[in-house]
Amino acid sequence: MKFDKFLRDKLYFVVVFVLAYATSISFLYAFKVDQSLCVALSVIAVISFFSSLSFDFLRKKKFYDKLKTNTANLDKVYLVTTTLETPEFYEGELLMETLYDMTKSMNEKVIEIETNMKEFKEYLELWIHEIKLPIASLELILHNEKQKDKKIYDQIRRIERNVEEMLYYSRMESSEKDYLIKKIDLANLIGKTILSFKDDFLYQKIELQVENIEGQVYTDAKWLEFILGQIIANAIKYKKEENSHITVRSREDEKNVILEIEDDGVGISKEDLPRVFEKSFTGQNGHHHAKSTGMGLYIIKKLLSKLGVIIKIDSIEGVYTRVTLFFPKNEFYEVTK
């Protein structure tokens, strides 16, 4: 709060004081009051006026400066009233009452929205679990058929993965509540993930190479299996027309267990590569090769950041795409025993 702006706001008080002062002095001189008395009264009047003005400025400055500072420093600005004491001037009291009413109203609205979102998420998760049952039944029926229709199978798998993606996205903001962090064997988890894609590799005529998978990492097995599944599904989706290969390998350095999943598919353009983790970004591949939500890599990046795992993607268009995961050897979370 600046004094010059405060004084400008009080300009009409100053004008009234000056006019009243000038009128009073004129009357005193008209009645031939002693000059020394006039001077004394003038000094008292001026000191009193500017003292009261300064006092009013200082108490308001203290309140408004604190209001401004606290508002700037708070993540949830609407809680600023809880950080302030009731001011000792009437205007401040009115402002605090108004801010309090606004905060109360917004809190009630936020609670209402959160309740509606919670109910929607609960319904969405229930619906996803329900829809997965007929999908699994269709897969089983198709698996038992002697003559399998590749197009039908592809569409069923596509529906299944989109449903899974929706489920994990709905849980993403509160995903840490569903985590069970423990030491897992990387080879076993990769083997389980690859097994779920055995029909895809067969129908798509993709050669899978698994090289030197070793090491144990601290993570959540269920979430990591979903993440690896999304990466492999992308490699299958954007494969070459013929003689496609997917290679999975691991290695270690001093700080990390490093997992690489590489394919020799269509690759990612140089322009698209920096944006692949952006929400809803599909890029050239999403438009030209397959319909895509642009959510898969975004969800993967968010989940991996919660697990303390770094992801990196390298690619040359028309040559290869390599996804690298860095699992820190130090315990990012306290290990669940």
Distance CA 175, CA 219 (A): 13
Listed residue (207, 223, 213, 218) closest to 188, CA to CA:
213
Two tokens, residue 32: 């031939």
**How does pLDDT run along the chain (337 residues), one tens digit per residue?**
777 777 777 777 788 878 887 888 788 778 777 778 878 888 888 888 888 888 888 888 888 888 888 888 887 777 777 787 888 788 888 888 888 888 888 888 888 888 877 777 776 776 776 677 677 777 777 666 655 666 776 777 778 777 877 777 777 766 555 677 888 999 999 999 999 888 888 888 899 999 888 889 989 898 899 899 999 988 988 888 888 999 999 999 888 999 999 999 999 999 999 999 988 787 776 555 555 667 888 889 988 998 899 999 999 998 999 999 999 986 544 444 3
Radius of gyration of the chain (CA): 35
pLDDT at 289: 54
What region does 281 belong to: left with phi over 0, alpha with psi -120 to 50, or beta? beta
Domains of the chain, CATH where assigned: 3-107 (no CATH), 184-337 (3.30.565.10)
pLDDT at 28: 79
Sign of dihedral through CA atoms 121, 237, 229, 262? negative
Q: How many CB atoms lie within 10 A of CB 206?
A: 21
Two tokens, residue 286: 């999403």
pLDDT at 335: 45
Two tokens, residue 332: 């990012």
3-state SS of the chain is: CCHHHHHHHCHHHHHHHHHHHHHHHHHHHHCCCCHHHHHHHHHHHHHHHHHHHHHHHHHHHHHHHHHHHHHHHCCCHHHHHHHCCCCCCHHHHHHHHHHHHHHHHHHHHHHHHHHHHHHHHHHHHHHHHHHHHHHHHHHHHHHHCCCCCHHHHHHHHHHHHHHHHHHHHHHHHHHHHHCCCEEEEHHHHHHHHHHCCHHHHHHHCEEEEEECCCCEEEECHHHHHHHHHHHHHHHHHCCCCCCEEEEEEEEECCCEEEEEEEECCCCCCCCCHHHCCCCCCCHHHHHHCCCCCCCHHHHHHHHHHHHCCEEEEEEECCCEEEEEEEEECCCCCCCCC
Two tokens, residue 129: 């679990």
